[in-house]
Chains A and B, each alone.
Chain A
Amino acid sequence: MKRAAPLLACVAFLFSSAAARADETASLRGLLAEEVVTSASRSAEQAADAPALSRSISAEELRRYGISSIDGAIDFLGVGARTDNGLGASEISVRGVGFTRDKGNHVLLLVDGHVINEPLLGSVSLGQGLGVPLELIDHIEVILGPGSAMYGSNAVLAVVNVITKSASAHEGAHVAAEGSLAGSGRATLTAGYGFDLLGKRASLTAGLTHYRADMSIELRPQYLGTDPYTGQPLRYTTTGPATGIWGGRIDRAYRSDVSGTHVRLVRGGLEIMGRAVVASSGDPGAGSDFDSPLTGTLERRASTSVRQRFALGDVGELSLRGYGDVFLSRDRAIVSRASGCPFIRTSTCDYRDHRGSDRLGAEAETTFDWLHDGRLTSTAGTNATLEHVSGRAEVVELGSGRVRSPLTPELDIGSVWTIAGYAQQGWRPLRWLNLNAGGRVDWRQINDDDGELHTFTPVFTPRGAIVVQPWEGASVKAIYAEAFRAPNPYEADAHTRTLLRASSLEPERASSKELVLEQRVHAQRMTFSLFDSRYNGVISRVVLTPDEAARAIAAGEIPLTFDGNVSVHQYRAADVMTTRGFTAGFDGSLLDGRLHLGASFTGAVARGHGTDRIPVAPQAFGNARAAYELGGELPTVALAASFTGSRVSDRSYDAGFRPIPVAPGALDLRVTLTGSVPHVRGLSYRVIVAHAVHDRSPFAVGPLLRPVAGLAPPELAPVQRWNATLGVQYDF
């Protein structure tokens, strides 16, 4: 015992001194873990004060956990949101609610505050198609819940703001390249420079990115029967015999090619941004010719924005912004079956949809901090946009290019004016109480090509929040928010050979009540929220019943004969969706910041389409992650997991399949090693091994859009189960 006493004293001393050191820096670590968000109120504020539940995903986390795209960040690092894709673009669902085939138009996607959703469809790409170099992303803010009070249309489920790095945070030139065994790769060249320009400090950040994927996957052969036109088996190949079978090995159609550039110049209060993206992708799950490399989409997008900030005395700021966007896309579908290509002496049709839109906008915003200490703040702004849209379709003979059906307008809408005004008032009457109220009015006018004007009733979307900070590090928020999504011009007016023009559509409306509890203990942050959200007048692309289609054909509203293998659709606003549930999250670090931990879980009871299960959107999902910095020249080792419960597939209700196709629960695992290459200054690496424990996504593939007697239901798209990626980066 006598011998043990000095030893115990030494141990006690070591522990107490370690504890003292930990105490010394713990509160500073806590301050450094404070998240600052700019998207909830359009100005920088601490996340604990923001009138919404938010999650800020840092560049460091993206790299540490092997993330290369926005959808990956949402799945592995986000809270309350989930993305899924079935051999194509990702779709997002939030807290149990998603809108299948909406091309992301219920989420407002911003890059440095600039709206990315294109005007014709409201679509966005959350994958590589976004075209922002990953190495240029500073952080991604995900603001859950309705956000129209500050942003207007499309901010129904969430606002996602991708914020690029400042020159000081990305100084010098950087080259990065990654390649995966599955057949995808990307390369980026990015740079950041600070310099003095005409007596003021300026910064320039710029980047180029190129992504290419050329992958293979096996699809189960589906027998689709005989062609009603020929009585022979249906043809799903451009060459070779007609077998009535769609499926097999995809070698050429599972492809993607994206090139993007992003430039931002800041000098004083002036900020100029420019970006351009060219993206092409195949559509291997489409029901046209199987594995045709020509079926797919080619998109071109360019945006520019000029913002100037002015001080308004010592209490406020005026921000003026002008911006413009151009979007061009061409969808192609190669169809060889006679019923889909009903032209004499034409064996294969090349269906081409040419769509275009542009947007010009101007915005003025004032922000005031009346008492100079954040206790009384006001924001007010106005925004005006003029959008032109066009959509034309043609059919040409593959090979010869002979026109079989001339270029025909898909919609009559020429331009859309939107004028909006918004305001928000923040008031902190007591140190522990923060009140926030705001709202926005959007007024829209659609101008037909024939000169006819349609003016819509102004849409008002309010938001109110009470934030109480009852004790150290805690914040309790009660939030009420509304949102809307104006029917996009395509939904409102498009009419094609398989799309019946909508009769009349009003904006979708959403409202949400939330109670959020956040507790921070030094660098650890825990959140728990309860939500109750409702979505009214949801616009869906509905498959017409054979009777409805026959009536439309008889009335001359659809040009093609309904042949049993072609489904006719129409956009209709009928659905009501509701969701109630909870979200819990944890983020933090231990062991002097060397061990990083995080997890989130969402449980929702969502109803829509007259049922208790909404297609694709999981009602139980989450993620968990841990990373440890081994230190020195050793790497950081990270494990991330993303999981969902089972859900019904995208064609479950509108197609009427019985039994309803159900995708199994999903578990994606990812192990990542990151570090610097020893003895080579500036060179770093990232090794990612990814594994999907499940084998199917909730999206059906193939031509079968509705049940046909004697035919098996469509296959759910398989997922890539194993992949390994190696990446290197050199910082000059």
Chain B
Amino acid sequence: MLVSRSAGSEPLPATLQADLLVKLAGYDRNMRARAGGHVRVLLATNGSDDDARWASQLKAVLGRTERIAGLPHTESTIRFTRAEALAATCKEQQIAIVVLSPSLSSEGERVRAAFDGVNVLTVAPDQELVRRGVVLGFELVSGKPKLFLNLPQANRQNVALSAEVMKLMTVYQ
């Protein structure tokens, strides 16, 4: 199965990306309050065919999942233009989860700045984006999925995970 890949690493199959996303969203203690009865997931791409393919796959697999954090959900795709515009869209549309394509890894710092104080879970299948300012990430390392958390950014975006879950992640302080 093909998915958009981060520089230098093999891609994580979309089914695993979706499973991890659903599982991690369930661990966020503020997800239900943030979602308000319906989890809206926004997939941000750079508009390339590569990203379109990644978004289509993730949408298709997430579409087969009944509930996220125990709530019904919908997925939509947006073309990334500027981090500030994406943050504004999230506030406006009460987006609970934003998944950024790994092709946006050079936008990491701008995403961090724009999402400061925004109540949303930002996720990326790319370790580099997490290091730069996305809250949660997963990447294929040593043939298995690994989780990454930007803890300061999680606090700024009202994402709360238990210590037990954080033990399974590489945490950037």
Contact = CB atoms under 8 A, between A and B. Distances in A.
Interface of A: 21, 24-25, 27-29, 31-38, 43-46, 56, 58-60, 138-139, 141, 163, 166-169, 192, 194, 196, 199-203, 205, 264, 266-269, 311-317, 367, 369, 371-374, 377, 592-593
Interface centre among A194, A203, A373 (most CB of B within 10 A): A373
Given A34-B145, A36-B13, A369 B53 contact: yes
A24 B162 contact: yes
Nearest to A368: B2
Contact of A377 (B1, B60, B103, B147): B1
A510 B148 CA distance: 44
B7 A44 contact: no
A314 B49 contact: yes
Nearest to A167: B8
A522 B45 CA distance: 33
A27 B139 CA distance: 18
B52 A314 contact: yes
A313 B52 CA distance: 8
Nearest to B55: A314
Contacts of B52: 311, 313-314
A194 B53 CA distance: 24
Contact of A200 (B20, B106, B127, B164): B106
Given A167-B7, A168-B9, A266-B7, A369 B144 contact: no
Contacts of B75: none
B127 A168 contact: yes
The 4 closest A-B pairs by CB, nearest first: A311-B49, A58-B142, A166-B8, A203-B8
Given A269-B50, A377-B1, A44 B23 contact: no
With most chain A CB atoms within 10 A of its CB, the pick from B48, B140, B167 is B140
A660 B11 CA distance: 51
A139 B146 CA distance: 14
A27 B50 CA distance: 31
A150 to B, nearest CB: 16
Nearest to A113: B10
Given A33-B144, A35-B144, A58-B143, A169 B13 contact: no
A592 B167 CA distance: 9
B134 to A, nearest CB: 13
Given A138-B142, A315-B53, A372 B59 contact: yes
Q: Which of A45, A56, A201, A264 neighbours the largest number of chain B CB atoms within 10 Å of its CB?
A: A201
10 contacts: A25-B165, A44-B11, A44-B140, A168-B6, A200-B106, A313-B52, A315-B56, A369-B2, A372-B56, A374-B61
Contacts of B1: 43-45, 369, 374, 377
A36 B143 contact: yes
A205 B142 CA distance: 15
Contact of B13 (A46, A141, A192, A312): A46
A372 B57 CA distance: 4
Contacts of A45: 1, 13
Given A311-B49, A374-B15, A201 B106 contact: yes
A377 B105 CA distance: 28
Given A44-B10, A205-B8, A267-B7, A32 B2 contact: no
A163 B11 CA distance: 13
B55 to A, nearest CB: 8
B148 to A, nearest CB: 9
A28 B57 CA distance: 22
A163 B64 CA distance: 32
A315 B168 CA distance: 33
Contacts of A592: 167
Contact of A43 (B2, B16, B48, B102): B2
Contacts of A166: 6-9, 139, 141
Tier of interface size on chain B: 35 or more
Contact of A38 (B10, B14, B56, B64): B10
B57 A58 contact: no
Interface string B32-64: 000000000000000011101100110111001
A60 B143 contact: no
Interface in B114-155: 126-128, 131, 139-147
A163 B144 CA distance: 13
B137 to A, nearest CB: 10
B7 A372 contact: no
B98 to A, nearest CB: 19
A316 B11 CA distance: 14
A29 B145 CA distance: 10
Nearest to A266: B8
Contacts of B141: 138, 166, 169
B53 A311 contact: yes
Contacts of A60: 142
A44 B15 contact: no
Given A29-B168, A36-B144, A317-B53, A373 B7 contact: no
A25 B103 CA distance: 30
Contacts of B167: 25, 592
A32 B60 contact: no
Given A32-B144, A43-B2, A373 B13 contact: no
B147 A201 contact: no
Contacts of A201: 6-7, 102-103, 105-106, 128
B1 to A, nearest CB: 4
B16 A311 contact: no
A28 B61 contact: no
B13 A44 contact: yes
A369 B14 CA distance: 11
Contacts of A312: 49
A59 B147 CA distance: 17
A28 B164 CA distance: 11
Contact of B48 (A141, A311, A371): A311
B144 A371 contact: no
